């Protein structure tokens, strides 16, 4: 583990500043900046300070995050003030500083965020407005937030972001959505432009902008819900797809929770991992797929469905599982009979984690029956039939039944007791 940074003699002042610059700061914030011997921030932010802020001015390099410990160590013996846009703890530098130094070593002086200003101008309740940041993040992550009637605020990466967002909305069937781009919020140059995503023609404006979206779906838009079981047609696939009804039951058994990590072993089209990630923005997932063509397909599906953070590992299991972070849940959708696969997944699983395995073959079903006898859990058979035409009538066409084994890994003490019961 890396060594902890040496404690600084003075707390680091973290001062939020808006487009209104020095005039918008409180007396306390101004005093902190005047007293600082070192002023760290973006070049634009540093230019907003008057000459009586006499500290040495240091502009953040790019990339920013790796430079944080170096700059803190370099100037650690002096009083440091760090400038941030708006509220430093809302998608700002405050998070990185708190992780590096600990919150007790910070003196955070927030300014109203651009989101607060935007909601004030639009008359939108802040608690009912979803915020998506595209600063340093792919625009495809916005796709997971598109629902009819939903109000969104998007933090733009630069002046080109509004046009990129308009194109994404149109491509996903949300061309009728209203877009308002609010620029220089809180400053003398505050302005906005208004339009519709499908006919967006405004040229790039100011790089400091927030995009307000009132989502409107076209009649052709595919309806995607917030719960597991997206339509099969939402996925690009070659037939290797956990079908909708089985997928919904499987995700229900996996029970995703915020911040948890899933291993999706035998990813196929990536549907289980993708819907795990859509359950909550902080969920994490790794999809392991041996076929390179399918692995690329998983990546495309994840981007289209708004979860570009899905990590795809190309290679066979269990060898490709080595070195991956320990999962909170494991789904095995293929390759159950590969030597050592189930054992490797069970060993890697955190205590209290869930393992779910699906199969349609007799050989794998026998293996799951053995593991159910040894480890307990639940063994179920899932069956789905679809109504289809039979001549001039209608009948049922049975899909292949799926055998599913699910089990929760006990803690060490529970495992010892459990094994004692079986002796």
Domain edge (last residue) among 90, 112, 134: 112
Quick one: 151 and 291 in the same domain? no
Look up the CATH number of the domain holding residue 248: 3.40.50.150
The answer to the question of residue 7 being in a domain is no
- The pLDDT assigned to 415 comes to 52
The answer to the question of residue 121 being in a domain is yes
Quick one: 251 and 271 in the same domain? yes
The answer to the question of residue 223 being in a domain is no
DSSP H/E element including 387: strand 385-390
Quick one: 266 and 400 in the same domain? yes
3-state secondary structure of 79: coil
Of 216, 197, 24, which is closest to residue 114 (Cα–Cα)?
24
What is the DSSP pairing of strand 354-359 with strand 329-332?
Answer: parallel
For residue 66, what are the contacts with CB-CB under 8 A and spacing of at least 6? Answer: none
* Overall number of domains in the chain: 3
For residue 77, what are the contacts with CB-CB under 8 A and spacing of at least 6? Answer: 9
Residue 144 near residue 63, CB atoms below 8 Å: no
Quick one: 175 and 252 in the same domain? no
Per-residue pLDDT of the chain (423 residues; tens, 9 = 90+): 444 555 678 899 999 999 999 999 999 999 999 999 999 999 999 999 999 999 999 999 988 899 999 999 999 899 999 999 999 999 999 999 999 999 999 999 999 999 999 999 999 999 999 999 999 999 999 999 999 999 999 999 999 999 999 999 999 999 999 999 999 999 999 999 999 999 999 999 999 999 999 999 999 999 999 999 999 999 999 988 999 999 999 999 999 999 999 999 999 999 999 999 999 999 999 999 999 999 999 999 999 999 999 999 999 999 999 999 999 999 999 889 999 999 999 999 999 999 999 999 999 999 999 999 999 999 999 999 999 999 999 999 999 999 999 999 997 655 544 433 443
Q: What is the DSSP string of 175-232?
A: TT-EEEEEESTTSTT-EEEEEEGGG--PPP--SSEEEEEE----TTPPP--SSS---G
Quote the distance between the C-alpha of residue 314 and its chain's center: 21
Of 408, 410, 263, which is closest to residue 332 (Cα–Cα)?
263
Quick one: 137 and 108 in the same domain? no
What is the DSSP pairing of strand 130-133 with strand 151-155?
Answer: parallel
Output phi, psi for 385, to 5 deg: -125, 145
Quick one: 174 and 153 in the same domain? yes
Quick one: 269 and 367 in the same domain? yes
Quick one: 147 and 21 in the same domain? no
Q: Which domain holds residue 87?
A: 12-112
Output phi, psi for 275, to 5 deg: -75, -25
- The pLDDT assigned to 245 comes to 96
Distance CA 138, CA 295 (A): 19
The answer to the question of residue 225 being in a domain is no
Domain edge (last residue) among 79, 112, 145: 112
The answer to the question of residue 4 being in a domain is no
Quick one: 23 and 104 in the same domain? yes
- The pLDDT assigned to 414 comes to 56
The answer to the question of residue 222 being in a domain is no
The answer to the question of residue 220 being in a domain is no
Quick one: 83 and 182 in the same domain? no
Residue 38 near residue 79, CB atoms below 8 Å: yes
Quick one: 281 and 239 in the same domain? yes
Distance CA 361, CA 151 (A): 46
Of 277, 275, 268, 316, which is closest to residue 295 (Cα–Cα)?
268
Q: What angle do CA 234, 201, 154 make, to 5 degrees?
A: 55
The answer to the question of residue 396 being in a domain is yes
Look up the CATH number of the domain holding residue 27: 3.40.1010.10
Residue 36 near residue 67, CB atoms below 8 Å: no
- The pLDDT assigned to 420 comes to 39
Q: What is the DSSP string of 2-30?
A: PPPPPPPSSPEEEEEE-TTGGGGS-HHHH
Of 311, 357, 312, 324, which is closest to residue 338 (Cα–Cα)?
357
Look up the CATH number of the domain holding residue 165: 3.30.950.10
Quick one: 108 and 178 in the same domain? no
Domain edge (last residue) among 112, 142, 174: 112
Cα–Cα distances in angstroms (integers) from residue 17 to residues 10, 109, 217, in the given order: 21, 9, 37
Distance CA 160, CA 144 (A): 21
- The pLDDT assigned to 78 comes to 93
């Amino acid at each position: 583990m890396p060594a902890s940074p040496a404690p600084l003699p003075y707390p680091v002042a973290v001062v939020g500043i808006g487009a209104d610059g020095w005039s918008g700061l409180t007396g306390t914030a101004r005093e902190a900046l005047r007293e600082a011997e070192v002023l760290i921030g973006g070049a634009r932010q540093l230019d907003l300070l008057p000459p009586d802020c006499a500290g040495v001015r240091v502009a953040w390099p790019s990339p920013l995050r790796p430079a944080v410990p170096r700059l803190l160590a370099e100037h650690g013996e002096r009083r440091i003030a760090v400038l941030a846009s708006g509220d430093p703890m809302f998608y700002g530098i405050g998070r990185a500083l708190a992780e590096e130094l600990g919150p007790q070593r910070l003196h955070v002086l927030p300014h109203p965020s651009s989101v607060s200003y935007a909601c004030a101008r639009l008359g939108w309740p802040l608690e009912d407005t979803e915020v998506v940041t595209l600063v340093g993040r792919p625009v495809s992550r916005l796709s997971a937030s598109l629902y009819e009637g939903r109000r969104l605020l998007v933090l733009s990466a630069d002046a080109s972001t509004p046009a990129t967002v308009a194109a994404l909305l149109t491509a996903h069937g949300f061309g009728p959505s209203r877009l308002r781009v609010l620029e220089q919020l809180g400053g003398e140059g505050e302005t906005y432009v208004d339009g519709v995503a499908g006919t967006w023609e405004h040229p790039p404006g100011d790089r400091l902008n927030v995009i307000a979206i009132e989502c409107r779906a076209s009649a052709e838009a595919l309806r995607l819900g917030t719960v597991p079981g997206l339509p099969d047609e939402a996925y690009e696939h070659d037939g290797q797809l956990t079908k909708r009804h089985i997928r919904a039951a499987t995700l229900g058994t996996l029970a995703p929770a915020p911040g948890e990590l899933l291993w999706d072993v035998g990813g196929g089209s990536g549907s289980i991992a993708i819907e795990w990630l859509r359950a909550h923005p902080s969920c994490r997932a790794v999809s392991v797929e041996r076929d390179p063509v399918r692995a690329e397909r998983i990546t495309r599906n994840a981007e289209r469905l708004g979860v570009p953070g899905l990590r795809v590992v190309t290679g066979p299991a269990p060898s490709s599982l080595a070195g991956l972070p320990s999962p909170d849940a494991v789904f095995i959708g293929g390759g159950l009979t590969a030597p050592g696969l189930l054992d490797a997944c069970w060993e890697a699983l955190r205590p209290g984690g869930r393992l779910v395995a699906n199969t349609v073959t007799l050989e794998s079903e026998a293996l799951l029956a053995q593991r159910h006898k040894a480890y307990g859990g639940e063994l179920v058979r899932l069956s789905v039939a679809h109504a289809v035409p039979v001549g001039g009538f209608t009948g049922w066409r049975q899909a292949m039944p799926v055998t599913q084994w699910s089990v929760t890994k006990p803690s060490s003490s529970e495992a010892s007791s459990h094994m004692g019961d079986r002796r």
